[in-house]
Amino acid sequence: MSVSVVVPIYNEEENVPLLFDQLHQVLSQSDREYELIFVDDGSTDSTGAELRKLAEKDSHVKVIEFRRNYGQTAAMHAGIQHASLDVIVTMDGDLQNDPTDIPMMLDKIDEGYDLVHGWRKNRQDAFVNRKLPSKIANWLISKVTKFPIHDLGCTLKAIRREIAQELELYGEMHRFIPILAHEHGARCVEVVTKHHARRFGETKYGIGRTTRVVLDLLTVSYMQNYFSSPMKLFGRLGIGCVLLSMVAGLSAVGMKLGAGVDMTGNPLFMLSVLSTILGGQFFSLGLIGEVNARIYYSNQEKQPYKVRELVNFNAANEFDPSVKIKRHAA
């Protein structure tokens, strides 16, 4: 199978040439057709210039340049949507993922798997602000989604293109790719991959990302269970509020008839009224969600990013006619 390697890049000027050399060495030794898609996520250093040099030197290199920094998820989504070969391999641009793992992952795809995701079993990162939050997040995500996985944060993955391009990525959703693909029926497998300490530049990740990951986990959990039918969630909440309202209301009436307790000052009566209002709101949210879900499924796709320029792409790869296409000869 042919391979598209997608690499989101942000301020990695020192790592770009070294990463290209490693990828070229690994992929040129195989008999597979390949392309290298670097997505410049609004870099403010000379990363863009380094990528252009590579594109002029090697026609395998394709560059997507963003107008500004949109984040890793948007960059990865852009690279995936513009990939044209059979299997898409995603990896970081900081040299911490090892390109020599790619052939092993492609062999797993050849065996019949749809997605192969890496596990940095011997991770070379700081424990307190990187490894510990990651372990907690992976345990929590595995429990909530019921998807067995050790390392959702590993960017190194191989996935069949037709499945990858079906996925909708936004926010911090790139780390949930295996779970989203599994929901699409993909056959997934986790493999142990090598991991290296960062040599150049500064990490773009920190403990502050944990909150965003947890919030996105709530979104993924909702999408897994209720995205196509929100009424199943809000309807249950509404029914629960109505039942609570009935119990509280009957209790208040019983207290009025049996002991002469004033209805207007009875907390159970107030609870009954509040629960009735909440129940109506939940039912309304369910109906609105059902309408929005149908609008969503019937609407055309929109991309959560804007591309300034494409390098070494042809018109068949272009989605936005306003974007300038720049071609370089090898």
Max Cα-Cα span within the chain: 92
Residues 198, 264, single domain; the answer is no
103-109: long-range contacts, CB 8 A cutoff, minimum separation 24: 103/26, 103/30, 104/191, 105/156, 105/157, 105/158, 105/191, 105/193, 106/1, 106/3, 106/30, 106/32, 106/158, 108/158, 108/189, 108/191, 109/1, 109/158, 109/160
Residues 65, 203, single domain; the answer is yes
Residue 323 lies in a domain: no
Residue 320 lies in a domain: no
H or E segment and range at residue 35? strand 34-40
3-state DSSP assignment of residue 164: helix
Residue burial 133-150, b: 16+ Cβ < 10 Å; e: rest: bbeebbeebeeebebebb
- The per-residue pLDDT of the chain, averaged, comes to 83
Q: Kindly give the residue spans of alpha helices, DSSP state H, lying in the chain.
A: 15-28, 47-57, 72-82, 102-110, 132-145, 161-164, 177-183, 209-226, 231-259, 267-298
Domain boundary among 227, 259, 274: 227
Facing residues of 189 across strands? 116
pLDDT digit string, tens, across residues 224-271:
777 778 888 899 999 999 999 999 999 988 888 887 777 777 889 899
What interhelical angle do 15-28 and 47-57 show, nearest 10? 30
Cα dihedral 24, 28, 31, 36, rounded to 10, equals 30
Separation CA 100–CA 47 (nearest Å)? 23
Residue 71 lies in a domain: yes
Question: Closest Cα partner for 228 from 304, 298, 303?
Answer: 298
Separation CA 23–CA 14 (nearest Å)? 15
Provide the 10 A C-beta neighbour count for residue 131. Answer: 15
Q: Which domain holds residue 39?
A: 3-227
* Reported pTM: 0.69
Residues 237, 181, single domain; the answer is no
Residue 318 lies in a domain: no
**Contact of 184 with 163, CB cutoff 8 Å:** yes
Residue 266 lies in a domain: yes
Residue 144 lies in a domain: yes
Residue 269 lies in a domain: yes
Residue 215 lies in a domain: yes
Residues 202, 273, single domain; the answer is no
H or E segment and range at residue 118? strand 115-119
Residues 83, 150, single domain; the answer is yes
CB proximity list for 39: less than 8 A, separation 6 or greater: 6, 7, 8, 9, 63, 64, 66, 75, 76, 78, 79
Mean pLDDT is lowest, of 169-183, 187-201, 251-265, 313-327, for 313-327
Residue 297, Cβ density class (10 Å: 0-12 exposed, 13-18 middle, ≥19 buried): exposed
Please state the domain count of the chain: 2
Distance of CA 306 to the CA centre of its chain: 18
What DSSP string runs through 179-206?
Answer: HHHHHTT--EEEEE--B----SS--S--
Residues 150, 292, single domain; the answer is no
Residues 165, 102, single domain; the answer is yes
Residues 104, 185, single domain; the answer is yes
The token duo for 2 is 């042919």
Residues 49, 103, single domain; the answer is yes
**Contact of 308 with 41, CB cutoff 8 Å:** no
CA angle 180, 182, 186 (to 5 degrees): 120
Domain boundary among 227, 251, 279: 227
Can you tell me the mean pLDDT for 150-155?
A: 82
Q: At 222, which CATH number? A: 3.90.550.10
Domain boundary among 195, 227, 259: 227
Separation CA 70–CA 233 (nearest Å)? 32
The token duo for 19 is 């990463």
pLDDT digit string, tens, across residues 2-32:
999 999 999 999 999 999 999 999 999 988 9
Q: What pLDDT shows up at residue 306?
A: 60
Percent of the chain with pLDDT over 70: 84
Residues 9, 136, single domain; the answer is yes
Residue 122, Cβ density class (10 Å: 0-12 exposed, 13-18 middle, ≥19 buried): exposed
Can you tell me the mean pLDDT for 172-178?
A: 84
Residues 257, 221, single domain; the answer is no
Residues 248, 294, single domain; the answer is yes
Instruction: Grade residue 298 by pLDDT with cuts at 50, 70 and 90.
Output: low
**Contact of 290 with 228, CB cutoff 8 Å:** no
Question: Closest Cα partner for 32 from 103, 80, 124, 127?
Answer: 103
